[in-house]
Structure 1
């Protein structure tokens, strides 16, 4: 076999090996001894298979982007780790949603998270676990939570994901102007990690997401009015703008993700033109905002 033939055959060889491993793992998950051997099998996989191949194996397991049986969920339990770089789903069967959400805290190295399930509304518990999970995904660049997005998740992303480039919440009725504000602003001094602690305390100790969001929105009510005036004022009075900016800086700071966001999709959400106006001011001019009443 020539050198060129070896190179061309390499992808097929890797694919074939991954197919064999998938069959072996699938057989293991179906055995009655699964729970006894799960820890040892997980350790063996993470020690002997490079993370990039585990990512490819995960993509094979989720070839149709669905979690609809116990075997699939167990395979993900074996493969998910902090080295997992991307996850895309279009459907999670009702019986497996709690189990799937319980795996999300492992994915601290995720850069792309896409969930596009039109029939999934996160329960209170699922929302809490997802909130804490996103708060730890500090490398996240693409966050797509179509239909199941929520204001609390936008708040977590704005506080903890400084590299966000795309936020897609299309069809998520739990997303409002409050969530937009939480995405693009933080309290002064909130970049040092204290935001994450507050989020975790709300979920683990207070068991109430509404408490944090209520405080965040209540502190921002006065600023929203000035932001809307700031967005619509033409021509802009430099003295007035300087005064408004001074007042706003006392109550909030732009979150770091505002410098990297290039696309935000808010179609079919409960975001109003006020939220869109805030986004237009917070993001760079090249950013694309998609909303029912405006598309840029």
Structure 2
């Protein structure tokens, strides 16, 4: 029933539709992952990173014995810091083709592609949208509105294209994230096993000497101790472990896939060189 007497699904006549398109603002090319519009996956990425950092260094590493606690802080701190650096670099780098970065005006709106004049966006290494000559392995990304050198894919998690200029930073970001999740998994499994074998081994912090009840555990003992009961700690550990396993499976699969691609391209290049 049309309560307001207005048909929201009606289709404009072709002449009017073309007229509307002419008055729509033409899109701009995006420089990198910080260029608008930002993607919701970015917020999810940073939220997950912060959450994992807080629970790893604030909750679960403090359960380890003193020697292992220091080693875990150093190793996990290095992995998390390295991941943060390469992830930021992969986002910030402009992966566009050299001629695009040198000759293209990013503030200039993109022209409208006319398929009646050109069958493809790039023909004879000339991009009709970027209006520059590009390299052989360049591809025009519709999300970033520019040609990317050595285009691999457009990553929604980075909100940026992955190409020749930032591929290895992307690869290191995936690898460090996978190793970080693996390290968290090992720590969590140790905490679970030790809790059922000998929970006193998890209560090594000096603050536990002031607590008489074995049902009370401390979160963030190094900064601001928060006493909670056993079910709270176990619930947090289970949720984090499930999230950890899911992330590790996905990132591990992506990591192995890109290793396979690297080996495949290396073998192919060797065969071409020998022939």
If the length of structure 2 is used for normalisation, what is the TM-score?
Answer: 0.25
Of structures 1 and 2, the one with the larger relative CO (CA 8 A, separation 6+) is 2
Q: Which has the larger radius of gyration?
A: 2
If the length of structure 1 is used for normalisation, what is the TM-score?
Answer: 0.24
